[in-house]
Structure 1
């Protein structure tokens, strides 16, 4: 598995469709999810919205750059939650261009919400949730809005957008800039910032006469690099981790001091050095959107959105695999000065993707109209994607175990301290094309009974090249005959059926079914094997009850979800010899049962309490593979990194110009390796804040992340996937991901 893509803190949301998928969720039962229908003069309260905007989607415990990931009982996708902008994905595929390289939460967005799972299945044909955002378009009146954010660790973020009229005949403009300079919470040895991102926007909007609609043409330029850090800790009984005296979790960097790695280009065989910062780890993109709507004379609303996206991606990652002890006779020396070294040695996998051009063109066109008791939408979605010679060059090296570690030269390395060049290296090139037809209908059958359903039909074509040549140590492509042609065409179906029935004015039952299909992508051909292209099917069924009054909105729902034919590539370490590592591909199924209860309580003016609890049991099925000459079978083992019990408590209180809030998120133990021998103890993630409205134009706020100052680790433990007996690892040094340490953030917002 491409580990650097996994490290986004898992938190999620509860919406009317997905309230109890056996996963992490937020409040479903919020005011804007209550639809009132007339019945004899009384309101019948149901849950029928497509999108929920009351979501703290960006409140992330792992970093300042990405939305909260939505856990649906399956392992976190490597790219995190799907992000849409103007109804289209901000990137066609998250690897190698991660969504946060071209999109950030910003005042340059007019609206940001969360798209429910059934809507994503119906309109995009995909499984999961999506952040649904819309760019700020031109406005008929002048508007200026902005935000400045800083933190106790020196985070600097400036964000501003201006919009207004150009002429009296409906032409308007918008222009904005976003700049992020984030050192995170640790100090690197080679750069100030762990994330530097700049996004610039400009565009024009034309409003049609008689309020028929509008059309916008927007340009966006993004320039971004980011670095992933890991923690070193001592593992103990009952999943407890202990912070080292000389390495503070979240405060110290485990990235090699100079940020450099030596690469052998898998296409040319040329050797060179690549850096984790600057020009070698930077993505740039140009984005042109044309979108809007027009109300036709027959009452149908024609909505359209198109995008041309051009990017050049460079990416560098360093992934810790294992730690072992070397005595004075082992033959390790510091690369900087040749001084002999003895002590703890860390094994590191370096992955480098040189500049890769990516082009994607997409368009969505739909017609919507209220037809009696039916709200009908019919649409077409087209997505074209081209990636030109993607490669992931591999290298391995050793480093000291300390803050800002030093690179080591070992007995099996070259003179610079590197070895196993391109073992497990990746390559693919080509195009993907998805053409879809979809339709949805929200049908108010009676005052008490509502049906919502949709169908998505998609043709997915792959056309490209890959290679079946084994990626042995020192490998590079030197013969054009090593490449094979990819030519695949898949027909895929997705859709949903949701029903709600009010037994009384405030109480009712709901039932949901969702189904998606997918096949392999070009990325699945990166390794030296022919991937299994059998259909990946994800059926989901749920049943529950809801209760909505003026003071409480509640939902309780049970769900079954299964997904077959998953593919993951694991960087495995031999449990019998920690200096040996290999990349292994595994196909497997996952199923999960869950039950969630979620409510929002408003007992008196100004006070709001959101509470949820989720019980789930996600397990692997048909999970077997061979590594280091041995067969492994982990069927019925618990899914990595997914807690079985999740809880969230969110109180808030508003009085006069003040608002006080807190968020407590509980995770039961999370398994940290495939055998389930290692796990992390239960933990809390905590947030709190206060905001003050100075006047109608200015607001100031303060947020504290991890105010209990917990220093525990989360996610998975690198290099420990095959460990079967935890006891020898008690007291051993391991590496993994973590939540942010105690951090204060401060912001000033203005809106004129």
Structure 2
């Protein structure tokens, strides 16, 4: 499973990233520091407010690099290893929320992410807070006016000479802004962490035993109806307050067919979205006499992932002879919201290990590392179609006497393993005082094997996903797969200071990836062609006492972009959804200017401007629905849906005495709804703001506002819009989609002792 969202769904996508010569906290640094590529600034990206997410308060926002967003969002690493081997199916937010249990969380650069994990995109790197000689206690309590409460507490200290401890607990009680009648909390997360640390040889040696338990119930349904005017704007549907009213029936029941046994079962969304995991790990380091630093990390995780995606499959008007009926059996006439539910159940086992050695030598900062990452997954995906009325707290509707139908037309199953044995190395070379070169390589030996119900050839059709598909069905067969591949990754960066305040910067990234287990989940055999990503950037930087500026030109291309997406067509008055495997390329050219101004004491303004042109390449496919009519798609050269061409981030802040006042604005230009680019949403703003007050050296208070412009932030897609080129039929069109977080006020207190 690659994409759970229906094709055309728009998310809170953000900009093109760039190198910025700033320190971790966004303060200007010297040109000499800028040229030293082993300093923090070159490995991390500051001023991105990655935890300010307008769509979801539980996870970091995705900093887009000119490609469509992913289901997994921003990758997260913890103590030198990924939080999850791969985001699918045990998502990172299920067992990581940041907070006081971590002494550091910073966004890694694109090159650093590629070298350390093989990831294409930015990665959030976090390090566990360990005990020290001085006992520490940290508390972060946050609540909002919708009734959400978050408790984050940690204690760390010394047990005996050379032995230290730290323990922490994260508790989230979030009912959501649009309360669901069948669930008390839309997000009820419990995470417990503990670490036992031993240090020796005057602190030069350190090893920690790390334990974690996570329990997560996450049932977010940020969807609702609204009216698409036709000129890119939307207006609210009378009787429905987008962002505050629930758009799910009150019983919260979903009927599905088990893809393994064929049994028909009914579950409650509360239980169907309950995931948990346990892990144990070792992490340590040793500083040698010659200045070399050896770091190592090992982790074993076992988890169960359960969650649902209740997608919007289409919205249409029906008469009382169509076959829809209310819960009491009366024929129904009116607007019908069709839903397409996917129920995912995964069992995951990870064994991850990383060993790394660093040393500075004669102008070179050298690094060599080894990854041995192993992942075992059994994954089941069941699909159902159903419908409800279009109103707040809607009623469930039956169709021809059925409450749920079309079972498993998009079902998936696989049981398999992935293994990555990777060697990586990098050198940051200070050639001269004004010239530095950074380069690195990652050589990844990648193994994958398992079995799934795929059709081995195009002539074989016994594993087609017809209604009622399951492994126990007569004729269904499992297909084995077993492959070994080589994935090379290379990075290079050059920085040249032409004067004390002006210089040039350039960098290049090549990243190759081969199919993952999820690519073998569908009915047709996986496309085995590699995915290649190439990114090149060239720019200039300028710095004086109050200006720090970087401006770059960029180009990125990703080949063989693989996705499994849902397409919807209205067949004989009923919305019908099909899942299709699609392969295409995406290319993006961009220009980014990033500047930090500090014109007077206490004031700072960060401004980021991005212009980009993401386009589909080699995007042609055919899809056939139950009426037997083939629909041809050709979207090559079209603008990528859900990605703005112009983006801005504006972040002013002012500090005086014990007070700090800050704002954050994000601008997104027009975003296309459908791939023919005939329908679009107008530009929008995402806004945040806050006031921080430091009561004393131990206690600070904050009052924050999310979406203070109170924009509804509607986004989404129109059923079958990817098949239509004439936009006039969508004027004053009732549709449904997603929304960003509504106007929200938050209060928090932080205590550090």
TM beyond 0.5:
yes
The equivalent residue for 1:530 is 525
**Cα distance in structure 1, aligned partners of 2:359 and 2:482:** 39
Contact 2:716 2:736 in 1 (8 A): no
Indicate which of 58, 63, 68 corresponds to 1:75: 68
**Cα distance in structure 2, aligned partners of 1:627 and 1:255:** 30
TM-aligned CA distance change 1:309 to 1:689, over 3 Å: same
Deviates more, 1:568-577 or 1:309-318: 568-577
**Cα distance in structure 2, aligned partners of 1:27 and 1:614:** 21
Cα RMSD, aligned residues only: 2.2
**Cα distance in structure 2, aligned partners of 1:35 and 1:363:** 37
Contact 2:502 2:541 in 1 (8 A): yes
**Cα distance in structure 1, aligned partners of 2:435 and 2:565:** 48
* Aligned residue runs from structure 1 range 346-361, under 5 A: 346-354=337-345, 356-361=346-351
The equivalent residue for 2:426 is 440
Matching of residue 624 in structure 1 with residue 620 in structure 2: yes
Contact 2:646 2:669 in 1 (8 A): yes
TM-score (norm. length: structure 2): 0.94
The equivalent residue for 2:583 is 587
* Aligned residue runs from structure 1 range 664-683, under 5 A: 664-683=665-684
The equivalent residue for 1:399 is 388
Helix, strand or coil for the counterpart of 1:745?
strand
TM-aligned CA distance change 1:717 to 1:451, over 3 Å: farther
Matching of residue 160 in structure 1 with residue 153 in structure 2: yes
**Cα distance in structure 2, aligned partners of 1:303 and 1:47:** 17
The equivalent residue for 1:599 is 595
Contact 2:24 2:46 in 1 (8 A): no
CA apart distance, 1:10: 2.3
Contact 2:166 2:196 in 1 (8 A): yes
The equivalent residue for 2:197 is 205
**Cα distance in structure 2, aligned partners of 1:616 and 1:12:** 8
Contact 1:35 1:45 in 2 (8 A): no
Runs of 4+ in 1 over 6 A off after TM superposition: 26-29, 43-47
Indicate which of 313, 324, 339 corresponds to 2:330: 339
Indicate which of 140, 147, 170 corresponds to 2:133: 140
Contact 2:294 2:357 in 1 (8 A): yes
| Structure 2: segments with no counterpart, 5+ residues | 455-462, 625-629
Matching of residue 9 in structure 1 with residue 5 in structure 2: no
* Aligned residue runs from structure 1 range 629-708, under 5 A: 629-708=630-709
CA apart distance, 1:7: 7.2
CA apart distance, 1:712: 2.9
CA apart distance, 1:715: 5.1
**Cα distance in structure 2, aligned partners of 1:666 and 1:238:** 19
| Structure 1: segments with no counterpart, 5+ residues | 20-25
CA apart distance, 1:404: 2.1
* Aligned residue runs from structure 1 range 35-54, under 5 A: 36=32, 49-54=42-47
**Cα distance in structure 2, aligned partners of 1:456 and 1:309:** 25
Matching of residue 472 in structure 1 with residue 466 in structure 2: yes
Deviates more, 1:290-299 or 1:532-541: 290-299
TM-aligned CA distance change 1:53 to 1:648, over 3 Å: closer
The equivalent residue for 2:739 is 738
Contact 2:34 2:41 in 1 (8 A): no
Matching of residue 506 in structure 1 with residue 469 in structure 2: no
**Cα distance in structure 2, aligned partners of 1:262 and 1:528:** 22
> In the TM superposition, what whole-angstrom CA distance separates every residue of 1:486-510 from its partner, at most 9, and x where no partner exists?
1011101002100000000110001
**Cα distance in structure 2, aligned partners of 1:4 and 1:583:** 11
> In the TM superposition, what whole-angstrom CA distance separates every residue of 1:14-64 from its partner, at most 9, and x where no partner exists?
4417x9xxxxxx99993366563699xxx9999952123543210000111
> In the TM superposition, what whole-angstrom CA distance separates every residue of 1:638-686 from its partner, at most 9, and x where no partner exists?
1111100001111100011000000111100011122212211100111
Matching of residue 462 in structure 1 with residue 448 in structure 2: yes
**Cα distance in structure 1, aligned partners of 2:381 and 2:115:** 34
Contact 1:29 1:553 in 2 (8 A): no
**Cα distance in structure 1, aligned partners of 2:273 and 2:78:** 24
Deviates more, 1:723-732 or 1:489-498: 723-732
**Cα distance in structure 1, aligned partners of 2:29 and 2:441:** 23
Helix, strand or coil for the counterpart of 1:237?
coil
Size of the aligned set, in residue pairs, is 734
CA apart distance, 1:252: 1.4
TM-aligned CA distance change 1:14 to 1:535, over 3 Å: closer
